[in-house]
Amino acid sequence: MPDPRPDFATLLHTWRDRLAPADAGFTATPGRRAPGLRREELAQLAGLSVDYLLRLEQGRARNPSAQIVGALARALQLSRPERDQLYRGAGLLPPQDGTVSGHVPPGVQRLAARLGDVPIGVFAADWTLVWWNTMWSALHGDPAAVPPAERNLARALFGNGPAHAALRPIHSESGPEAFAASIVGDLKDAVSRYPADTELATLVRELRAESATFAHLWATATATPHASEQKTVRHPEVGDILLDCDVLLVPGADLRVVTYTAATGTSDAGKLDLLRALGMTGVSGI
């Protein structure tokens, strides 16, 4: 008897047609014929090539990885039940409860997409970057240029791989030691809440081996609430930008929404405007 469930390709196409461009941060131009997102827009959101997405939708590319399915679920703004259905359609088990989730609720994505003039990055409980907009890329560099497994703030701070190499110089008002300690404290708290998460355990084990600073902080740091503070980002094109950095927690989702803003009329706000003019064309996500 044939399986009555929709296959992966059908689910992709159906949910792409359903998502309104404005909800994903795109402007619907007159004469647009696509009922939802264009294929190239979804590919951009998910960090995939248009050719690979086409092959997925046509059923010619099979067995996508869990990482790719997760990226598509976030890009399509699926609910958790829909996300699980997409995983099953790909022949994969959905993410288990009790592990760090990279799922970004649709409402959070719609809100972030409507704040496109502000650099926004969404991080999971282990400080893995799971969603970002174009202004985030303009300020910090494009995360899509970093391998997905490296898109983690702790790896950028303490590791010696591509994430660390791509990190632009940032001076924190509280000092580098306090900021680093806060991230390690968050990871210790995450480990206590997600003891069965093997990827989180691997992250901590590798960083303790790679970095004496991380190992020391792991032994001494405690979880502390994140407070608003000013940070100076050294940008290769517009120079130093002094910005207010805020970390907003999403209740029930264990996500951190990080935003950077500048007071209206300041030279730093002008530098953000310049970054926006240099190439703001849409939004991106892992």
Q: What is the pLDDT along the chain (286 residues), one digit of tens a residue?
A: 344 446 899 999 999 999 988 888 887 777 777 779 999 999 988 888 999 999 999 988 888 998 899 889 988 999 889 999 999 999 988 887 788 988 888 889 888 888 888 999 999 999 999 999 889 999 999 998 888 889 999 999 999 999 999 999 999 988 878 889 999 999 999 999 999 899 999 999 999 999 999 999 999 988 777 778 999 999 999 999 999 999 999 888 899 999 999 999 999 999 999 998 876 444 444 3
Determine phi and psi for 39, rounding to 5 degrees: -60, -40
- Cβ atoms 194, 99 nearer than 8 A: yes
Domains in the chain (CATH in brackets) are: 8-89 (1.10.260.40), 106-285 (3.30.450.180)
249 within 8 A of 196, measured Cβ to Cβ: no
How far is residue 22's CA from residue 16's CA, in Å, rounded to a whole number? 13
Residue 6: burial class (beta carbons within 10 Å; 0-12, 13-18, 19+): middle
Asked if 247 and 210 touch (Cβ cutoff 8 Å), the reply is: no
Query: What is the DSSP code (8-state) at residue 172?
Result: E
Q: Classify the C-alpha dihedral 223-221-167-65 as positive or negative.
A: negative
Residue 257's beta-bridge partner residues?
Answer: 122, 248
Q: The tokens of 253 are what? A: 């989702």
The whole-angstrom separation of Cα 206 and Cα 166 is 19
Residue listed under structure tokens 């064309």: 281
pLDDT for position 1: 35
Helix, strand, coil shares of the chain, percent, nearest 5, are 50, 15, 35
Backbone angles phi, psi at 162, to 5 degrees: -60, -35
The C-alpha atoms of residue 275 and residue 271 are separated, in whole angstroms, by: 6
Between the CA of residue 20 and those of 16, 134, 173, 213, 227, what are the distances in Å? Answer: 9, 18, 40, 46, 34
Which residue is it, tokens 């209206």? 264
**Angstrom distance (rounded) from CA 216 to CA 222:** 12
Q: What is the C-alpha separation between 57 and 7, in angstroms, rounded?
A: 10
Q: Give pTM, 2 decimals.
A: 0.79
Do you know the residue count of the chain?
286
253: helix, strand or coil: coil
Instruction: Judge whether 149 and 122 are in contact, CB under 8 Å.
Output: no
Whole-angstrom distance, CA of residue 205 vs CA of residue 209: 6
CA angle 130, 43, 133 (to 5 degrees): 40
